[in-house]
Amino acid sequence: MTPSGGPPPEPGWQRLGVSQEDWQHWPWQMRERVRDARALARFVEPTDDEVAAIERLADRFHFVITPYYASLMDPEDPDCPIRRQVVPRTAEQDDPVGVADPLDEVAHSPVKNVIRVYPDRIAFCVNNECALYCRYCLRKRMVGDEEWTMKKRELEVALDWIRETAEIRDVLLTGGDPLVFSDDRLGWLLAELRTIPHVEIIRLGTRLPVTLPFRVTDDLCRLLADHHPIWVNTHFNHPRELTPEAAHACDRLTRAGIPVGNQSVLLAGINDDAVTMKQLCEGLVKLRVRPYYCYQAQLLEGTAHFRVPIERGVDVFRELRGRTSGFAIPQYVLDTPYGKVPLSHPYLRGREGDDIVVEAFDGRLWREHNPL
């Protein structure tokens, strides 16, 4: 085992005998993705359970991993936090309560691929492809599924809906992953959105800075900067994902004037303890990436082994409060069909006559004189 756990010290391209140029070329990474147990064995020795799960679950939910992300796995540790996010386990078949669409997104869709929960902003699922598929993905029902592939015509129908719906000031491009699009296609989509005067900001939700950081090219950053104001939210879940390559991708985005935030998912055994979460969040702010949300894992089919009791999540973030920079602490939220609900420790303890009682980070109570 490597001293602190984690991948072997040589870079992935060296270990695999690939040229560094190929390795850093994002279409090469997409083409050479791990798709079966044999390909996975080039990085880690799959367990019997993983081999069985890959065979049984492959057609239910895509199994694909970029070589870059696979190279971050610890070959000595089957419970490696990178590996658990992307390699299936038979435990996925053991989830009596999970459902396909826990947020009832289908019912909140005024036009295909648009999800509207709030009056002024929407999630616009522009494609169904990701560089890899996370086992806890909320959009499991659509990612990697051909039926959801968006044709240009469908995108135009959704764009027309946005054009006709004057309240929409904030459009969140998601999927799948909008950065899987070619620069041309993304450029077309952004230019179309920019012809709509009431669309003030465009956000991209993308995991590619984490799973395929080479996608964040100078050309892409120029393209995004041409359509400002653009905000990006990415999705790091574990400090081991904060590699020099990922840091470089985030740096390019921020240098293009794009505020970069992070949305993670609280995952049992991966990041559901205060030490790991603090490392993740402090690592993010060092990259100038602002921790934004941490989601409670949804009641999604096949993900029981990732879910944690909400009280545990509240405790994790309570432990961070006062013990790291305030802006390093994301808001822990539960996403519901009615929108995102903040889950936080009740620091406001209540009123006693003319006083409000609050609890400080270290548990001390403070009375603030505050007559009604």
Nearer to ligand SF4, 23 or 148 (CB): 148
Binding-site member from 133, 161, 236, 293 for ligand SF4 (CB under 6 A): 133
Q: Which of residues 200-219 bind ligand SF4 (CB under 6 A)?
A: 207
Using the contact rule CB under 6 A, the part of the chain among 11-19, 117-125, 206-214, 268-276 near ligand PLP is: 117-125
Using the contact rule CB under 6 A, the part of the chain among 12-20, 37-45, 114-122, 266-274 near ligand PLP is: 114-122
Residue owning tokens 């069909």: 337
Best CA proximity match to 331, nearest among 298, 290, 292: 292
DSSP designation for 348: E
Q: Which does 212 bind (CB under 5 to 8 A by kind): ligand PLP, ligand SF4, none?
A: none
* Pairing of the two strands 121-125 and 355-359: unpaired
Count Cβ atoms within 10 A of the Cβ of residue 96 and give its class: 0-12 exposed, 13-18 middle, 19 or more buried.
exposed
Token pair listed for 130: 């990701």
Does the footprint of ligand SF4 cover residue 130 (CB under 6 A)? yes
Using the contact rule CB under 6 A, the part of the chain among 1-9, 91-99, 128-136, 308-316 near ligand SF4 is: 128-136
Indicate the SS3 state at residue 193. Answer: helix
Binding-site member from 83, 121, 139, 240 for ligand SF4 (CB under 6 A): 139
Does the footprint of ligand SF4 cover residue 84 (CB under 6 A)? no
**Shortest distance, CB of residue 102 to ligand SF4, whole angstroms?**
14
Q: Are 236 and 210 in contact (CB under 8 A)?
A: yes
Site string for ligand PLP, 230-269 (x = CB under 6 A): ----------------------------------------
Best CA proximity match to 121, nearest among 180, 178, 205: 205
**Whether the bond into 176 is cis, omega within 30 of 0:** yes
Residue type, 322: G
Q: Are 275 and 116 in contact (CB under 8 A)?
A: no
Nearer to ligand PLP, 288 or 340 (CB): 340
Residue owning tokens 């053991």: 94
Q: Which does 177 bind (CB under 5 to 8 A by kind): ligand SF4, ligand PLP, none?
A: ligand SF4
| SS3 of the chain: helix, strand, coil, percent, to 5 | 35, 15, 45
**Shortest distance, CB of residue 216 to ligand PLP, whole angstroms?**
21
Does the footprint of ligand PLP cover residue 123 (CB under 6 A)? yes
Does the footprint of ligand PLP cover residue 340 (CB under 6 A)? yes
Residues that bind ligand PLP (CB under 6 A): 115, 117-118, 121-123, 172, 340
